[in-house]
Structures are given as structure tokens and as C-alpha cells.
Amino acid sequence: MSRTSLGFTTALLLTGCHSGAGQAAPETCERVADIPSASISAESLAGEYQLRLVAGDASASGTLTLVPQDTSAQRRPGPSGIPDPSHRYPLIGGTELDLAAVGAVASGTTASLDPAAPGVLLIERIGGEPGAPGRLMLRLGSEANRPDRLRFDGGYTVLRVRQADEHGFAGDWESGAPLPRASGYFCALRRSRQ
């Protein structure tokens, strides 16, 4: 990525998420441009964040933690029971977030840090164009993230990462049960290490 496009990407992300001193969540969160970024690494998103979901005039804020998942669990079987080579699951975590405040549904708890049913699962689509929109997404809900169940329908909430840099990441989100019923955009601002 050129210095100009890296600077532009950083400016876009910083425009999307701002935090005032002592704020518990991004002070403002604005929709970011849907410009594919080839430089987003799934592993680089590990860390602690202040997360805000916005849907119209409503918003929900809370903490988000993402940690690396055991290497053996990063590949999951597809419907045939054979590992799916088109996806990998490098990070898991949890969030304390009131999804109902933005009309989103929870499929289980979002706070679970249990590797067998994490509250947040980072899904990376492999292949296709580097940086294509929707290549990285976070699925919320411990029941939706259980590897021992094949889900055909039911409630879901997903956050699609559109932009990321060292300060955090941002994008859009959608939720439904099973048809879409709520959507908006989000910002995740990395918490400073003290």
C-alpha cells in the first residue's frame, strides 16, 4: 500500500472513531467509506477496544476483547464434516454490549470467553481479491459460534470490517432472525495500554 493510500485509510478510520479524554466509548462514530483495504490482517485486530454500534438515532457502547484462538481451532468443518478451506477463525473474544438498544438480536451471550462457544468469533474469508469487502467479520453470540452445531437459520449479528489501522477498526453491521431486521455501522477504538 502506498504512503498516500495508507494516510487516506488512517484519516478515514480516525474520522470514523473519535474518543475524548476519559471517555468510555468512541465519542463519535461515523460511517466509513467502503474502500477495500488489502492491508488488514486478522491477527492485527487482537486487543481490547471500546466498541460502539450505531443504528439511526440509537447506539450501544461497550468493551470488546479479541484474543488469538488455538491454532488447531482456526479451521472448522463445513457442512460435509471436512474442514472448510475458504474460511478461518483466528480470533475469539467477548463483548459487553446491549444489542437490544440498537434492535439487534443475540444468539446466546456475547460475553462468553469459552473457546467452545465464544461470544465473538472473527471469521476470515480466504481467497478472492485481497481486501475485498466482507473478508473479515465478527459474529456475535455464543450459540451462533459453537463449532459443534451446523446452523441453517436463526438469529445473527455480524460486524463487517471495512477499515482498520493501529487505532482500531470500523465498518457496518447487520442483525436478523433469520431475515435482516436491524443494521448500521460501528467503530472499535483500541484501548491504550497503560
Residues 6+ apart with CB under 8 A from 186: 29, 51, 52, 53, 54, 159, 170, 171, 172, 173
| C-alpha neighbours within 13 Å on the C-beta side of residue 14 | 8
Cβ 59 vs Cβ 17: under 8 Å: no
Of 18, 3, 1, 21, which is closest to residue 131 (Cα–Cα)?
1
∠ CA 192-93-117, rounded to 5°: 170
One-letter amino acid identity for 121?
A: L
**Short-list 143, 173, 134, CA closest to 157:** 173
Give the count of beta carbons closer than 10 Å to the beta carbon of residue 187. 31
Question: Given this model, what pLDDT does residue 53 score?
Answer: 97
Spans of the chain below 50 pLDDT: 1-15, 19-25, 79, 194
Q: Domain 3-190: give its CATH code.
A: 2.40.128.120
- Using CA atoms, how far apart are residues 53 and 43, in angstroms rounded to an integer? 22
Between CA 9 and CA 163 the distance in angstroms is: 7
The predicted-structure confidence for 54-99, as pLDDT tens digits, reads as follows 999 999 999 999 999 876 666 665 545 566 777 888 999 999 999 9
As a whole number of angstroms, the distance between CA 45 and CA 123 comes to: 12
Compute the C-alpha angle 122/47/176, nearest 5°.
35
User: So what's the pLDDT on residue 153?
Assistant: 67
- Distance between CA atoms of residues 36 and 2, nearest Å: 14
The neighbouring-strand residues paired with 180 are 176
Domain spans of the chain, in order of start: 3-190
